[in-house]
Amino acid sequence: MPSSSEVAHVEIRDHLRVGPGPVDLSTIDPAGTPGLPAGKETTRDPKLWSRGQVAAIGTHLASRQERLYAAAKAGSPHRLLLLLQAMDAGGKDGTVKHVAGQMNPLGLKIVSFGKPTEEERRHHYLWRIRRALPAPGIVGVFNRSQYEDVLVVRVKDLVAPDVLSKRYDEINRFENKEVGDGLTLVKVMLHISKAEQKKRLVERLTDPTKYWKYNPADVDERSHWDGYMAAYAAALSRCNTDAAPWYVVPADRKWYRNWAVAHLVWETLDELDPKYPEPDFDPAAELARLRAAK
Ligand code: AMP
Ligand code: MG
């Protein structure tokens, strides 16, 4: 067991990747901790352990992010997108704060998608998504995404069934093209239980500093829980390609969620292994010129 400043490395993607084939969310325990290293520290005080690990992973994340950013200055097309989907109170905002918060704001682009505005409604549903994608060198985070158009839209019957059924392949084509253009896509469903959601919504109504997070529509959405789970299962099953895989992160325990997502992004960036670019000038000659100058 490493000390809190060292990083315990596991192949987290193997634990969290879903499929191939139909995904059954009822088989994934929202309170589970897949891939968690066994040991005294994770048993005795998991929250403390997680804080230390996320901070340690954070330094690795930030250094990979800097290299990604630097490489783009020299023309590299690489960029990364962490896409977050979850039920209300599922922990999307907390994940942005704790995981994206480890990186340099200069190289981050964080976008939240709400109910489409009037202008957005006049366009194809992928219009606002394309505009929000990270440029080369940037780490993007989507708080909700194109998947709302096969989740809330499916649950609330906002489009005809034949329109909806075409969207899965359309999303696959869209993602595949972006991946071909240098995007690394990490799609994460934060999976909470219905009981945990209730607990978090109750907190939002009993703590005045959390009222702002509450939306009366959350109770109505909650009544469609089973419909949402079916819609998530369809999206996870039909849009789970090798180019753009889905990961399900059990999210009832916030400390596990933060650790797992940080680890997942780190592992992905590590595999991408961005490199500082070679200078397009002669550093020794430039140094001599600078020293000779007044
Ligand atoms: P919040 O994330 O709490 O700000 O809530 C955003 C709301 O916008 C959620 O209720 C989403 O279901 C809703 N939303 C996001 N995208 C869409 C979409 N494409 N169509 C309809 N509702 C959406
Ligand atoms: Mg909300």
| Beta pairing class for 139-143 and 79-86 | parallel
Phi/psi region, residue 39 (left: phi>0; alpha: psi -120 to 50; beta: rest), is left
How many Å lie between the centroid of ligand 2 and the Cα of residue 293?
58
Q: List the structure tokens of 191.
A: 């999976």
> To 10 degrees, the CA torsion angle through 230, 234, 240, 244?
-80
Burial 76-104 (b: 16+ CB within 10 A, else e): bebbbbbbbbbbbbbbbebbbebbbbbbe
Nearest ligand to the C-alpha of residue 220?
1
> Are the CB atoms for 65 and 228 separated by under 8 Å?
no
Nearest ligand 1 atom to alpha carbon 143 = 2
Nearest ligand 1 atom to alpha carbon 156 = 21
| pLDDT of the residue at 1 | 43
Closest CA to 145 of 101, 190, 177: 190
Question: Which residue owns the Cα nearest ligand 1 atom 22?
Answer: 115
The residues lining ligand 1, judged by C-beta closer than 6 Å to any ligand atom, are 113-116, 144, 148-149, 152-153, 215
Question: Which residue owns the Cα nearest ligand 1 atom 17?
Answer: 115
| Tokens 């403390």, residue located | 48
Q: List the structure tokens of 79.
A: 């960029």
| pLDDT of the residue at 104 | 98
| Beta pairing class for 79-86 and 183-191 | parallel
- pLDDT tens for residues 206-230? 999 999 999 999 999 999 999 999 9
Q: Is 70 helix (H, G, I), strand (E, B) or coil?
A: helix
pLDDT above 90 covers a percentage of the chain that reads 94
How many Å lie between the centroid of ligand 2 and the Cα of residue 44?
33
For the residues 259-274, what does the mean pLDDT come to? Answer: 97
- pLDDT tens for residues 78-103? 999 999 999 999 999 999 999 999 99
How many Å lie between the centroid of ligand 1 and the Cα of residue 44?
39
> Are the CB atoms for 125 and 149 separated by under 8 Å?
yes
Q: Is 4 helix (H, G, I), strand (E, B) or coil?
A: coil
- pLDDT tens for residues 118-134? 999 999 999 999 999 99
Nearest ligand to the C-alpha of residue 93?
1
| pLDDT of the residue at 43 | 87
In the chain, the amino acid numbered 226 is D
| pLDDT of the residue at 5 | 55
Ligand 1: which of 113, 128, 215 to mutate, most ligand atoms within 8 Å of CB?
113
Q: Which residues neighbour 231 within 8 Å (Cβ) at sequence distance 6 or greater?
A: 150, 151, 154, 155
> Are the CB atoms for 57 and 262 separated by under 8 Å?
yes
Q: What is the mean pLDDT of the chain?
A: 96
- pLDDT tens for residues 184-211? 999 999 999 999 999 999 999 999 999 9
For the residues 135-148, what does the mean pLDDT come to? Answer: 98
For the residues 150-174, what does the mean pLDDT come to? Answer: 98
Distance (Å, whole) CA 113 – CA 115? 7
- pLDDT tens for residues 2-49? 444 578 788 999 999 999 999 999 999 999 999 999 888 888 999 999
Nearest ligand 1 atom to alpha carbon 88 = 3
Nearest ligand to the C-alpha of residue 216?
2
